[in-house]
Amino acid sequence: MTTTQHQPAPRRGFTGLLSLPVVGACARFVLAGIWIVSGAAKISDPMASAQAVHAYELVSWDMGNIIGVALPAVELILGIMLLLGLFLRPAAALSALLLVVFILGIASAWARGLTIDCGCFGGGGVDDSVTGTTYALEILRDLAFMALAAIVWCNPFRRWALYP
């Protein structure tokens, strides 16, 4: 007598698409690239990074300086972790949390009528050319980045990962 093992049915639709290894790989490596580019753009000029933090008017001067110096390093570390495949789920969770903080900061600046460059990829500070559309697009961009983090959390592409 032989027994047959039942294989789970393949996922179909959007959920099935998100579970594909290529989707997890793209999400992991694109998110890694975003963090590396963002952190690298800011790490060489900590004063400009601190200026971008100060422009939000949410933290004290001293705390803004600390965040301005620490944030680029955190972004680089997250990018390297994702690139190398170290602690993929915690890196994805921390990415999502950081992006929530960024979205809240941008929404706060928008709600308070500040006109600032977000400083997400360097620069930052007062920018009179910023409009509501600018803020809306920055929030949508960060939501897309959060979607990448969610995909990495749900489907961590572990091939070429140093930590399984």
Tell me the per-residue pLDDT of 89-132, one tens digit each, with 9 for 90 and over: 999 999 999 999 999 999 999 999 999 999 999 988 899 999 99
Identity of the amino acid at 128: D
Q: What is the model's pTM?
A: 0.86
Q: In whole angstroms, what is the distance from residue 159 CA to residue 164 CA?
A: 8
The answer to whether 155 and 88 have CB atoms below 8 angstroms apart is no
In angstroms, the CA 152 to CA 96 distance is 10
Tokens describing residue 64: 């803004």
Binned at pLDDT 50, 70 and 90, residue 12 comes out as low
Q: Residue 26 has what pLDDT?
A: 94
Q: Which amino acid is at 78?
A: L
Q: Give the residues across from 125 on adjacent strands.
A: 117
pLDDT in tens, 23-60: 999 999 999 999 999 999 999 999 999 999 999 999 99
For residues 22 and 154, the answer to whether their CB atoms sit within 8 Å is no
Gap between the Cα atoms of 11 and 79, Å rounded: 30
**pLDDT of 13:** 58
Q: CB of 39 within 8 A of CB of 47?
A: no
- Span 68-93, pLDDT tens digits: 999 999 999 999 999 999 999 999 99
- Token pair of 92, please? 């994805």
Percent of the chain whose pLDDT exceeds 90:
76
Which amino acid does the sequence have at 36? I
Dist CA 33 CA 133 (whole Å): 25
Helix (H) or strand (E) run with residue 116 in it: strand 116-117
The Cα–Cα gap between 118 and 98 comes to 14
- Residue 72: exposure state from Cβ atoms within 10 A (0-12, 13-18, ≥19): buried
Q: Can you give the pLDDT at residue 153?
A: 94
